[in-house]
Amino acid sequence: NAGVMQNPRHLVRRRGQEARLRCSPMKGHSHVYWYRQLPEEGLKFMVYLQKENIIDESGMPKERFSAEFPKEGPSILRIQQVVRGDSAAYFCASSPHPPGGFEQFFGPGTRLTVL
Amino acid sequence: QQPVQSPQAVILREGEDAVINCSSSKALYSVHWYRQKHGEAPVFLMILLKGGEQKGHEKISASFNEKKQQSSLYLTASQLSYSGTYFCGTAYNTDKLIFGTGTRLQVFP
């Protein structure tokens, strides 16, 4: 059973461009979470999605950021008009059930660098 | 609300023990522990659930004091491979996890 997959692993964008980060959860997992990690800092919750639904987006900036998890295909985290402060590692995790009582499996992350 | 971890950093020699603490100001449903090595993804270590259930690796032990909203991770007879940053994640219901700021552990020969 393949693990959580994220692509690209590294992404370089210039200020003002768009960044699209993809996450394919483990087979059978319908719950997906996105986290942002700045260098030498902890994991900041951004958004929790279940197939076709956003369950909790309380950690996501209200402007420029959006996330989706369509019925078919990977989950997408989209950042429009990127700024230097968006440079970070973005991790996706998945689980077969809501996270409170179950392990989350993390992907390898996408390192976003904004020039 | 982000849980508070202590200490922020620990330095050990192989074979020594360490305890990492995680505390919350709100009633917890569960506490999760992960370890992250530099440049890698976090790796699951253990879940402690309200009511006493635990799920995790054999060589890792932890406790969960529901009354104090605290959890402790016990690392005994440390090995070089234990080095990394340890995060606790707290859940207040069955939904999202909120992770602490991390405890950096370095084990030297």
**Nearest C-alpha of chain A: how many angstroms from B29?**
7
CB-CB under 8 Å, B99 with A42: yes
Q: Each residue of A88-113: pLDDT tens digit?
A: 999 999 999 887 778 899 999 999 99
pLDDT digits (tens, 9 = 90+) for A16-54: 999 999 999 999 899 999 999 998 888 999 999 998 899
For residue B57, the model assigns a pLDDT of 67
Residue B79, CB-side half-sphere exposure with 13 Å CA sphere = 3
Which residue among A42, A44, A99 places its CB closest to the CB of B91?
Answer: A99
Query: Could you tell me how far CA B20 lies from the centroid of its own chain?
Result: 6
Residue pairs between chains A and B whose CB atoms are closer than 8 Å: 64
pLDDT at A5: 96
Residue B7, preceding bond cis, omega within 30 degrees? yes
**B96 touches A at CB < 8 Å:** yes
Which is higher by pLDDT, B108 or B54? B108
pLDDT value, residue A10? 97
Q: What CA–CA distance (Å, rounded) separates B76 from B61?
A: 9
- Selecting from A59, A100, A104 the residue whose C-beta is nearest the C-beta of B94 gives A100
Out of A33, A42, A108, whose CB is closest to B96?
A33
- pLDDT at residue B51 in the model: 73
Least Cα distance to B21 among B106, B102, B109, B108 occurs for B102
Return the pLDDT at B23: 94
Residue B22, amino acid: C
Q: How far away is chain B from the Cα of A15, in angstroms, using its nearest Cα?
A: 24
- Flag whether residue B80 sits within 8 Å of chain A, measured between CB atoms: no
pLDDT in tens, B64-93: 988 889 999 999 889 999 999 999 999 887
Cβ distance B44 to A45 less than 8 Å, yes or no, reads no
pLDDT category of residue B58 using cuts at 50, 70 and 90: low
pLDDT of residue A78: 98
* C-alpha closest to that of B36 among B98, B97, B101: B101
Give the Å distances, CA to CA, from A112 to A20, A41, A56, B10, B94.
10, 15, 23, 30, 30
* CB nearest B95 (choices: A43, A99, A109): A99
CB contact under 8 A, A43 and B55: no
B98 close contact with A: CB closer than 8 A: yes
Q: Would you say B43 and B34 are in contact if contact means Cβ atoms under 8 Å apart?
A: yes
Q: 3-state DSSP call for residue B82?
A: helix
Residues A28/A22, Cβ–Cβ less than 8 Å:
no
In sequence order, the β-bridge partners of residue A48 are A33, A56
Condensed to tens digits (0 to 9), the pLDDT of residues A53-82 reads 999 999 999 999 999 999 889 999 999 999
* Alpha-carbon distances of A35 from A65, A90, B36, B72, B80, rounded to whole Å: 13, 6, 14, 24, 28
Per DSSP, the three-state class of A86 is helix
Q: Residues A10, A29: contact at Cβ < 8 Å?
A: no
Query: For residue A83, what pLDDT is reported?
Result: 97
B26 Cβ contact list (under 8 Å, min separation 6): B1, B69, B92
